[in-house]
Structure 1
Amino acid sequence: MVIPQLLQSIKPLGFRRKKSQDVSGYLAVEGALETRFGLVPCDVFIDRELRSFPTIILQQPLSELLLPFAPHVGPDGFLCYVAEGTVVFDMYRPISQTIAALKRAAVVLDQIMAKERVDDLEEEFFAFWRGDYCYTDIERPESGEVAALSLGKGQGLVFTDDLARAESKFAYRAGRVEALLGVTAKITTKVPPRPLIGAWPPKTVGELLDWQSKLDPPCRRKILARIIKAYRADKQAIVVVIDAPTIQYGFLVTDLQKYKRTSKADQGAPIFEAPIELMQMVRMDDRYIVGRNIPGQKTLAGKKIALVGCGTIGGYLADLLVKAGAGTGGGELQLIDNQKLAPGNIGRHRLGANRLELNKAQGLVTELKIGMPSANVRALPEDAFSVNLAGFDLIIDATGEQGLGNWLAGQQANGSLPNGGWQTPLLHVWIEGSGEAVRALLKQHRSEGCYRCLCDYEAEQRFLSVAGGVRPILAGGGCEGQYVAYPASVSVQAAALGLDAALAWVGATLWAPLSTRVISRAHDPATGDVTILPRPGCPACGS
């Protein structure tokens, strides 16, 4: 009974059942969407089970206002008026939901025709650029030649400007990695790609150049020059990778030598009929991997960072730092720890039994480079007190050892940590008590209190993390010795707080030097995120 009621309800909107019902599982209706530019005829296909939004196809020929580019309109007239996964069709209110969908489609189409949604084109480009998946690992911003790596039969290709770096990233893949030189060109454009309405996708060099002439004429000239260069070098094929803002895409030109000049006097390049094959590029460069999850924010790429302590906090923090760009873009992440991984560490450490009795810093480097082989991560298996920490952009103390924290605070204050400015910023990250809270202290300026200042304040019951303070609860004993018990989740949360502080530092965003996250529900917070002032008479910072 719902379908007859639905048809009756959409009649006032100008929609009627179509005579031909040749799409299985769908009710086909026809009508028009009302825009400020007039009525736009369309066909609507309604799920007979009433579980999803209607599909809307604009009738041909399409309006001139939708040519040659239009967001959310496919070459066949398909109108995307709602993003998949953002809105759920309410099957218990199918009639009102269908009416709302038709009205929403009219609004979206009106905005498209008014050129108010042009920026959406880039986001949906790959919906119309179908082809084989390939990888790119290209860091160089300018146009130029790049190499191709074959990963073996059925394993795909990688296009890169650094063979050694790309080979390290794909060493885990089955098959033999083979370098193919002189068959690939990378071209940079500042114009995001937009699919043509109508004759799409391009199938020949001529059609592709015609598209680029409407999109970005300088890019068209670069593409043409690269293909002609390959033709005159007697190459049978060439791959062109286009590096557009936030997107890379490409195509393979084949049969280049099939089309010959009519005479020696003809100096032209008969390449316009050469067929092309579309290629979807999957980015694997460090800049993309690091920045993808924090778009618009500054990463740790290019910075020289020292992480002191590779224990339960430092292990997870090192992992997070690399994911945020540490060791990429010409930067370096140095891990400092002189201890080995013991059996008792494994329950809450980033490392596992496969690194047992190995130095923690060295074990972490090996693990981190499995996931990010191009990262410049180095291990220094030495006592932190004996290490020269000058020249770093940021020093992170993840040991949780008060003695080392006090010493580092003194080193910063007495000028032993120069980095071109006042002193290297110093970030301490630790766990309070038996995991009741995690804290971070970032000291960047003389006007801020140091780690030793905070320790003395806490002895006076000031700036406590939780009301009443905390005392560690010890477990173990005997030959094993005693240790502070808390689950690995506390270590992860301390590492996460440390990363947040580091990102605030590199992004120069507002961040209270002393930050606290209370974990235990049995305790009330005592101090919010604050700036502490130097404590008079502090023996570390000499205030």
Structure 2
Amino acid sequence: MSVIPQLLAALKTIGFRRCEEQPSSSHLVIEGNLDTRFGGVPCSARIDRTFQTFPLVQLTPVPECLLPVAPHIGPSGSLCYIAEATAVVDIFNPIGQTLAALEQAARVLDQVMAGERVDDLAEEFYAFWSNLQFFSDVDSRETGAGVLLQIGDVFAISDNPERTCAKLAHLPGKLRELPWSIDRVTTKTVPRPKSDAWPPETVGDLLAWQRDLDDACRRKVEARIAKAYRKGRTFTIIVIDSPSIPYAFATLDLLKTPRESSRDQRLPIYDVRILCLNLCRIDDAFVTQRNIPGQPTLAGLRIAMIGVGTIGGYLGEMLAKAGAGTAGGELMLVDNQHLEPGNVGRHRLGANSSFRPKATSLAGEIKRVMPGVNVRPIVHDAREVNLEGFDLLIDATGEQALGQWLASKFSQKTPLLHVWIEGAGVAVRSYVSSHASEGCYRCLCDYERQGHFVAVEGGVETLFAGQGCEGPYVPFSASVSIQAAALGLDSVMAWVGRKAWPGLSTRVLSRTHEASHADCTVLKRAGCPACAS
């Protein structure tokens, strides 16, 4: 039975009624007033008849006090009153949900009219700036020049065309480097729209707006437009890199009033029309910072990972997406083995990498998904590789002998993280020592042989499968490898962020086992052959 009649009856109690014109059978359109402390504001609302989305509210018309721009008010009067990602649609309470949505819309509108949400304008800058999208792949945050690329119908601003083309290689169309001037300037001021005419339509409008925001930036912008004019360029793009977002504009006909001679110093540029550009960032710094805003990344660091097996395959890609190998840093992958077909089921690499060096194949995969990363494969035994001078070493081999060798060589001078899987996927563990008083990986191994710091109660039973000619094989699924890699990444990010993190971390995966102890710090063991002085 339809709930629309009951809904209309409930809406009538708060002053809303069904509109005479219903342009779509999929939505119910109603009209009424949103009550604010400044009086009722006329609006219409489109209600999804399936009640799977929130009502769309539009002011009819937008109050004069909110013109020409106001936070949460779209160009056509649409009111943004709820963040859909943070609200749950209740399909079992359509009437209550609709009434609550209109109440929230009135509350937000009231705050906007009272000037209480002006700061939100900075966050909504692009909602008012432009819908014409350009990609931005610029690593440098300094003032400088750039290149404009075109791939089919897509445009991109870049400071490294080869890297940008690799990122956009999946798009259809032929690559062209356009001969148009690109200038990048920086500002320390977060952009926000003006309270009168917006967005700017001419060079003069834009410079006047910039004068109020950051006059030093205004002078840089003006100088670059003047330079383009004097060089006889009809079209130029200016990118302004702010602390929050980059934004840009293009001049449409810079030479509409040309100079009479080279000695003519006039600058008839201020009434030249501009086109605002919406920049979609695809640079590595943005990609790596996007999910952890304000936190340190691995950008600029030299990181070497030994072992590109079932753990390292996934961890290597995670490290790259956390910034390893970007901003002048390096991600080195060390593994002298080839991928066996039987390992494909739980490895990051696929069948197309069978019988190929794992380090080289993973480096290629990382370059495919993160073209800007500096990743270097080393197809040699780790004992033959120069591992000096790195900011972090990661042992993802799960081999105790190699882990202990690494501890003896580097535990006293280079941060060293070990990540491994216990038994047949019973638990995953990581170990790192960050203080001179803490034990190394060999210390931990010795303690475990004495029954201390074991992963689970009763210890882990060694289980092998396929002990014929193919050799011992420890059975566990790819999900175990991924969870080990995730623990490794968490440990790395705690290290780079200088967060409190236990030296020994354990995550028990088996429901038939219990952890034997909490995560903890392991003290140095007297007489350890690896780290004892």
> Which residue does 2:80 correspond to in 1?
80
Aligned: 1:258 with 2:259: no
> How far off its partner does 1:235 sit?
0.9
Where does 1:218-233 land on structure 2 (aligned, <5 Å)? 218-233=216-231
Residue identity matched to 1:465:
A
> How far off its partner does 1:197 sit?
6.1
Give 3-state SS (helix, strand or coil) of 1:428's partner: strand
> Which residue does 2:189 correspond to in 1?
191
Gap change, CA 1:150 and 1:101, over 3 Å in 2: closer
- CA contact 1:443–1:449 (8 Å) conserved in 2: yes
> Which residue does 2:367 correspond to in 1?
369
Give 3-state SS (helix, strand or coil) of 2:458's partner: coil
> How far off its partner does 1:60 sit?
4.7
Where does 1:266-285 land on structure 2 (aligned, <5 Å)? 267-285=265-283
Alpha-carbon separation, structure 1, partners of 2:95 and 2:198: 35
Residue identity matched to 1:42:
P
Where does 1:16-55 land on structure 2 (aligned, <5 Å)? 17=17, 21=21, 25-35=27-37, 38-47=38-47, 49=49, 51=51, 52-55=53-56
Which of these residues, 474, 492, 496, is aligned with residue 484 of structure 1? Answer: 474
Alpha-carbon separation, structure 2, partners of 1:48 and 1:330: 51
- CA contact 1:204–1:276 (8 Å) conserved in 2: yes
> How far off its partner does 1:68 sit?
6.0
- CA contact 1:188–1:243 (8 Å) conserved in 2: yes
Gap change, CA 1:430 and 1:211, over 3 Å in 2: same
> Which residue does 2:451 correspond to in 1?
461
> How far off its partner does 1:219 sit?
3.5
Gap change, CA 1:213 and 1:41, over 3 Å in 2: farther
Give 3-state SS (helix, strand or coil) of 2:255's partner: helix
- CA contact 1:333–1:376 (8 Å) conserved in 2: yes
- CA contact 1:75–1:199 (8 Å) conserved in 2: no
Alpha-carbon separation, structure 1, partners of 2:91 and 2:341: 55
Where does 1:111-510 land on structure 2 (aligned, <5 Å)? 111-151=111-151, 153-154=152-153, 156-181=154-179, 183-196=181-194, 199-260=197-258, 267-412=265-410, 423-510=413-500
1:185-209 CA deviation, whole Å, 9 max, x = no partner? 1222333333456744444434444
Give 3-state SS (helix, strand or coil) of 1:149's partner: strand
Residue identity matched to 2:116:
E
Gap change, CA 1:9 and 1:268, over 3 Å in 2: farther
- CA contact 2:502–2:521 (8 Å) conserved in 1: yes
> How far off its partner does 1:163 sit?
3.2
Gap change, CA 1:220 and 1:485, over 3 Å in 2: same
- CA contact 1:75–1:198 (8 Å) conserved in 2: no
Alpha-carbon separation, structure 2, partners of 1:303 and 1:326: 7
Alpha-carbon separation, structure 1, partners of 2:417 and 2:176: 44
Share of identical aligned residues, percent? Answer: 51
- CA contact 1:30–1:44 (8 Å) conserved in 2: yes
Give 3-state SS (helix, strand or coil) of 1:447's partner: coil
> How far off its partner does 1:462 sit?
1.2
Alpha-carbon separation, structure 2, partners of 1:263 and 1:379: 59
- CA contact 1:434–1:472 (8 Å) conserved in 2: yes
> Once structures 1 and 2 are overlaid, which stretch shifts more, 290-299 or 224-233?
224-233
> How far off its partner does 1:517 sit?
0.7
Residue identity matched to 1:146:
G
Alpha-carbon separation, structure 2, partners of 1:103 and 1:172: 45
> How far off its partner does 1:510 sit?
1.0
Residue identity matched to 1:376:
N
Give 3-state SS (helix, strand or coil) of 2:101's partner: helix
Gap change, CA 1:466 and 1:99, over 3 Å in 2: same
Give 3-state SS (helix, strand or coil) of 2:86's partner: coil
> Once structures 1 and 2 are overlaid, which stretch shifts more, 200-209 or 393-402?
200-209
> How far off its partner does 1:264 sit?
9.7
Alpha-carbon separation, structure 2, partners of 1:177 and 1:53: 42
> Which residue does 1:517 correspond to in 2?
507
Residue identity matched to 2:453:
F
1:209-267 CA deviation, whole Å, 9 max, x = no partner? 44444544444443333222222211111122222233223222212222346999974
Gap change, CA 1:177 and 1:54, over 3 Å in 2: closer
Give 3-state SS (helix, strand or coil) of 1:290's partner: helix
Gap change, CA 1:216 and 1:26, over 3 Å in 2: farther
Alpha-carbon separation, structure 2, partners of 1:20 and 1:344: 67
Count, aligned residues: 529
> Which residue does 2:527 correspond to in 1?
537
- CA contact 2:325–2:373 (8 Å) conserved in 1: yes
> How far off its partner does 1:516 sit?
0.3
1:288-315 CA deviation, whole Å, 9 max, x = no partner? 1111111121111111111111111111
Give 3-state SS (helix, strand or coil) of 2:149's partner: strand
> Once structures 1 and 2 are overlaid, which stretch shifts more, 324-333 or 252-261?
252-261
Two-structure CA RMSD over aligned residues (Å)? 2.9
> How far off its partner does 1:147 sit?
1.3
Residue identity matched to 1:109:
L
Give 3-state SS (helix, strand or coil) of 1:484's partner: coil
> How far off its partner does 1:34 sit?
1.6
1:445-478 CA deviation, whole Å, 9 max, x = no partner? 2111211111111112111111111122111133
> How far off its partner does 1:7 sit?
5.8
Residue identity matched to 1:127:
A
TM-score, structure 2 normalization: 0.90
> How far off its partner does 1:382 sit?
1.5
- CA contact 1:205–1:274 (8 Å) conserved in 2: yes
> Which residue does 1:57 correspond to in 2?
58
Residue identity matched to 1:497:
L
Alpha-carbon separation, structure 1, partners of 2:50 and 2:212: 41
Alpha-carbon separation, structure 2, partners of 1:452 and 1:315: 25
Alpha-carbon separation, structure 2, partners of 1:264 and 1:364: 57
- CA contact 2:226–2:269 (8 Å) conserved in 1: yes
Alpha-carbon separation, structure 1, partners of 2:348 and 2:5: 61
Gap change, CA 1:373 and 1:55, over 3 Å in 2: closer
